[in-house]
Amino acid sequence: MSNWQEALFNPRRVAVVGASATPGKAGALLLRNLTSAQSRFHGEVIGIHPSATELLGLPAFPRLDAAPTQIDLAIVVTPPATVPAVIEDCGRAKIPVAVIISGGFAETGAEGAELQRRTIETARALDVRVVGPNCFGAISTSCGLNASLSIGLPKKGGVSLITQSGAYGMAAYSRSVDEGMGFSKIVALGNKTDVDEADLLAFLGRDPDTQTIALLLESISDGRRLFDAIASITPTKPVVALKTGRSASGQRAAASHTAALSGDAAVAIAALRQAGAHIVEDGLSLLEVAASLDRQPPLRGKNVAIITNSGGTGVELTDLLEAQGLAVPALSPALQETFANVLPPHGSAINPVDVTTDWARFSQMYGALVEALMKSGEVDAVVPVLLQRSALMPEVGGAIIEALCRARAAGSTKPLHICWVAPKEADGNRARLLDAAIPCHLWPAGTATALAAALARPAAVRPASIRNPVPAPSAFDAGGWVSAPQAFLLLAQAGFPVTPFTMVTDADDAAAKAEQMGFPVVLKAERPGMTHKSEKGAVRVGLSDCSAVANAFADFEQRLGRGPALLQQQAAPGLELVIGGRRDPSFGPIILAGLGGVWIEALNDVALRLAPIDAEEARAMVEGLKGRKLFQGFRAARPINIAQFARLIADISQWFAAANWLDELDINPVIASGDSFTIVDVRMRAESATSHG
Ligand code: ADP
Ligand code: MG
């Protein structure tokens, strides 16, 4: 075999280690799956068993290195304690890859973790690649390989699924039987000690049988590597991704807003999206969207045409599509005109196009409308609703299939999806549509979710390279915090627009320096370890004369104890924005930007990207904010120069990525108005400085 991926997905000889003839044992299930008549696997299958010479009619040997011919793939189902020795045998027998299905490793505690460590150490030393342990196995329909615990081999097709959880390996088979969904390769990674998503993606990206990739991720071992692997595939094949384990992410004890809003899952999802993947929220959608993208091209724009025999369903679908960010625009008068002789007198040609209940002419109308809309330049996708009677009439589905064929022959590349609302007795008609590669989503809700997720993704934007490193400051506070004046100074030296500031040590000093600075000023108490100053009454804005400044200083000392204060020029009113950075243990430097100020965490309106980014990508971050309308000048405020804000985000992302000593950067707020941007608050923290106080 040329490499371990070939050996895994197209083996000539497979050995089951722990093979058995006893029904109910994994070793027997594997033998049966590999040799099932339905699978039609052409390779050779042998069993490894301490004493048997034959199992279920297959040859058996006591050890892997006792087999007379070269084995390509070992499937291991023996008890965990035996597995390191089995891997050693694989090495001796020059088997390039082993799938360890057995559980009882790191998922069970310290003892199992030690066993897993020994297994992987042996595998690395002997050059054996390992899938698992504690996994469901591997499937490759191109050669009929079912080396898994699945209850059957799914139908052949273009979707390859990489899943951490075996449950979705199982689900693949039922989606295949019930929904006609076709698969090429399925791999469950289990504890993922060696082979990971990035390894498999590199292969599947080049695999001619794989048209679409579905990815279910629980944990991510090397985020940057995964990002690169996905980003190099998405220009040619759709990748649909689900990240589970999202709920645990908000639990990081966070001292900065940036840290609170960039939990592990938020970063992972932002990175997957940035790499060009279609993001879904649940496993059913993962399979549904992957199947749709395998059957139909992605949507190249947001405009959808609906053809329906129920006004109500058309309205509901319109609402749901628009809620997902798609549009159901009115068709041009010219196009509507051409529908006049197709539709009945009470029909509507606007969009949704309503054929009413004139069921005698359903097939004629659906056929003509689908063809015309598929060929029209006014919409990016066509969605016939087949509701009850139209779904029950086989000739309606038939007319749609024929119309699609004619449109494709004429060069149309837009997708056609059906919204299906029908009784079980219509299932045969649905199966014919699915076989003709037309997705049939259940009800308007399922249709809207699937269509929105099938929207074409912009090309992946890879983080730029990093400039010269930014030197670290000489001193840090307890907890690794950089002092306020030091942090402002670092930003100012880098050329960022920091409001004029100075430290003051007593009330007279404060008043004198305020006078020099010019009113109005802002005074902030600086106390070690204090975060979120305004919550503690440590920020006084709008101080407009010397006595107000002196009084504010005295008040701080009375309430918060003795200590210095930061005096700042007050920025003109504007929109409060945030720019932050964090070093993620897996994805590396990330940049965050969005609506800031004191409500930042309540609003949670921020965008994340792997850093550093350029101004164009920064602009896309801003355009994606829910509150982007606020930038256009809200309630008499001056419209904000978005290009300039994007430039600032990009420059800060460059600077942050280059400041490799810095783990957290939280600039909140930058006060923005028109062309002016003023940084009035910043926090910086270096984790590595925590230990030396
Ligand atoms: P913290 O985030 O620690 O509570 P900030 O320094 O961000 O404290 O101040 C809280 C709020 O006070 C800011 O969101 C802003 O509305 C206002 N503010 C602070 N400094 C200035 C300044 N120099 N000019 C104008 N407004 C300011
Ligand atoms: Mg702040």
Q: What is the pLDDT of residues 679-692, one digit of tens each?
A: 999 999 998 776 54
Q: CATH for 301-453?
A: 3.40.50.261
Query: How many angstroms does the Cα of residue 147 sit away from the middle of ligand 2?
Result: 56
The answer, yes or no, to whether residue 250 has pLDDT greater than 80, is no
Domain boundaries, the chain: 1-137, 154-295, 301-453, 501-569, 575-686
Which two tokens mark 395?
A: 């000739």
Give the pLDDT score at 636.
67
Which among 93, 92, 98 is positioned nearest to 18, based on CA atoms?
98
Which among 95, 88, 100, 139 is positioned nearest to 17, based on CA atoms?
100
The answer, yes or no, to whether residue 253 has pLDDT greater than 80, is no
Q: 354 and 387 in contact (C-beta within 8 Å)?
A: no
The answer, yes or no, to whether residue 581 has pLDDT greater than 70, is yes
Contacts of 690 (CB under 8 A, 6+ apart): 479, 480
**What region, left, alpha or beta, does residue 597 occupy, with left being phi > 0 and alpha being psi -120 to 50 degrees?**
left
Residues 198-209, mean pLDDT to the nearest whole number = 97
Give the pLDDT score at 456.
92
3-state helix, strand, coil in the chain (%, to 5): 40, 20, 35
Ligand that comes closest to the CA of residue 534? 1
Ligand that comes closest to the CA of residue 565? 1
Strands 521-525 and 539-543, by their bridges, are antiparallel
Give the pLDDT score at 476.
86
Residues 545-559, mean pLDDT to the nearest whole number = 97
Of ligand 1's listed atoms, the one at least distance from the Cα of 533 is 3
Task: Indicate the range of 248-262, 296-310, 419-433, 648-662 predicted with least confidence.
Answer: 248-262
Ligand that comes closest to the CA of residue 680? 1
Of ligand 1's listed atoms, the one at least distance from the Cα of 524 is 6
Contacts of 101 (CB under 8 A, 6+ apart): 26, 30, 75, 76, 77, 132, 133, 134, 135, 136, 137, 148, 149
Residue 223, classed as helix, strand or coil, is: helix
User: What is the percent of the chain with per-residue pLDDT over 70, rounded to a whole number?
Assistant: 98
The answer, yes or no, to whether residue 175 has pLDDT greater than 50, is yes
575-686 falls under which CATH superfamily?
ATP-grasp fold, B domain (3.30.470.20)
Residue whose Cα lies nearest atom 10 of ligand 1: it is 534
Of ligand 1's listed atoms, the one at least distance from the Cα of 597 is 14
Burial degree of 110 (CB within 10 A; 0-12, 13-18, 19+): exposed
Residues 87-93, mean pLDDT to the nearest whole number = 97
The answer, yes or no, to whether residue 613 has pLDDT greater than 90, is yes
Same fold, 301-453 and 575-686: no
Query: How many angstroms does the Cα of residue 624 sit away from the middle of ligand 2?
Result: 23
Residue whose Cα lies nearest atom 20 of ligand 1: it is 680
Domain 154-295 classification at class level: alpha beta
Confidence of residue 165 (pLDDT cuts 50, 70, 90): confident
The answer, yes or no, to whether residue 205 has pLDDT greater than 70, is yes
d(CA 304, CA 327): 6
Give the pLDDT score at 461.
79
Query: How many angstroms does the Cα of residue 247 sit away from the middle of ligand 2?
Result: 26
Residue whose Cα lies nearest atom 22 of ligand 1: it is 570
The answer, yes or no, to whether residue 256 has pLDDT greater than 80, is no
Query: How many angstroms does the Cα of residue 683 sit away from the middle of ligand 2?
Result: 8
Q: Which of 219-223, 248-252, 363-367, 597-601 has the highest mean pLDDT?
A: 363-367
Q: 76 and 18 in contact (C-beta within 8 Å)?
A: yes
d(CA 557, CA 551): 10
Ligand that comes closest to the CA of residue 498? 1
Query: How many angstroms does the Cα of residue 222 sit away from the middle of ligand 2?
Result: 32
What letter does residue 631 receive in the DSSP assignment? G
Of ligand 1's listed atoms, the one at least distance from the Cα of 521 is 23
User: What is the percent of the chain with per-residue pLDDT over 90, rounded to a whole number?
Assistant: 87
Query: How many angstroms does the Cα of residue 625 sit away from the middle of ligand 2?
Result: 20
Give the pLDDT score at 464.
79
Of ligand 1's listed atoms, the one at least distance from the Cα of 668 is 7
Query: How many angstroms does the Cα of residue 669 sit away from the middle of ligand 1?
Result: 7
Q: What is the identity of the amino acid at 440? A: C
Query: How many angstroms does the Cα of residue 577 sit away from the middle of ligand 2?
Result: 10
d(CA 499, CA 670): 10
Q: CATH for 1-137?
A: 3.40.50.720
The answer, yes or no, to whether residue 458 has pLDDT greater than 90, is no
Counts of helices then strands in the chain (DSSP H, E): 23, 29
d(CA 205, CA 345): 52
Ligand that comes closest to the CA of residue 599? 1
Of ligand 1's listed atoms, the one at least distance from the Cα of 535 is 4
Query: How many angstroms does the Cα of residue 274 sit away from the middle of ligand 2?
Result: 28
The answer, yes or no, to whether residue 612 has pLDDT greater than 50, is yes
Give the pLDDT score at 285.
95
Q: CATH for 501-569?
A: 3.30.1490.20
Q: Give Cα 311 distance to the centre of its chain.
A: 35
Average pLDDT, the chain: 94
Residue whose Cα lies nearest atom 17 of ligand 1: it is 541
- Any residues with Cβ below 6 Å from ligand 1, and which? 499, 522, 524, 532-534, 539, 541, 568, 570-571, 576, 597-598, 668-669, 671, 680-681
Confidence of residue 248 (pLDDT cuts 50, 70, 90): low
Of ligand 1's listed atoms, the one at least distance from the Cα of 569 is 23
The answer, yes or no, to whether residue 252 has pLDDT greater than 60, is no
